[in-house]
Amino acid sequence: MGGLAFRVSAPELRAQEIQGTGDIAVVVSADNPISDMSLATLRKVVLGDMTFWKNHASVVLVLRPEGTPERDTVMRVVAQMTNSQFKEHWMGKVFRGEASVEPLTLASKGLMLEYLGGRDGGIAFIEAPKIFPHIKVVTVNGLKPGESKYPLR
């Protein structure tokens, strides 16, 4: 992957621990200090109401295209909107000057993870079985993909 370094330290959730669950994992760049997020905080990130991480890096939201399991789950569970409502929400934020751009949409999981790896503030959603071995996975409400009450399924 030419120059990208994914780092996973011992206390962090490792991708191989959740492979095969079918759940949608929240992944962040290796340098992001976050390891757990509440569903409410995750919603603020997805809706653009939280724009900076605790380390002062800008939040960079990366999504899969409409019709993918990741996008469908994020819209239904996190944003609680249809794709049309989500698009209108973000166009309004940009129009009002509350955001400079809409979230980035990348068709390829590989491109998404490569982009994420090079951004301190990056966050994305990916099917747990498709996670690359050295990505930092964030728990949601203290739960990891595969656990019975994990919300992103």
Where residue 109 falls among pLDDT bands split at 50, 70, 90? confident
Average pLDDT, rounded, for the chain: 85
For residue 21, the model assigns a pLDDT of: 67
Indicate whether 3 belongs to any domain: no
pLDDT in tens, 123-136: 999 987 666 656 78
Is residue 7 pLDDT above 70, yes or no?
no
Q: Which domain holds residue 59?
A: 15-140
CA distance 90 to 126: 21
Indicate whether 145 belongs to any domain: no
- Domain total in the chain: 1
User: For the whole model, what pTM was predicted?
Assistant: 0.84
The CATH number of residue 92's host domain is 3.40.190.10
Q: Check if the beta carbon of residue 143 is closer than 8 Å to that of residue 36.
A: no
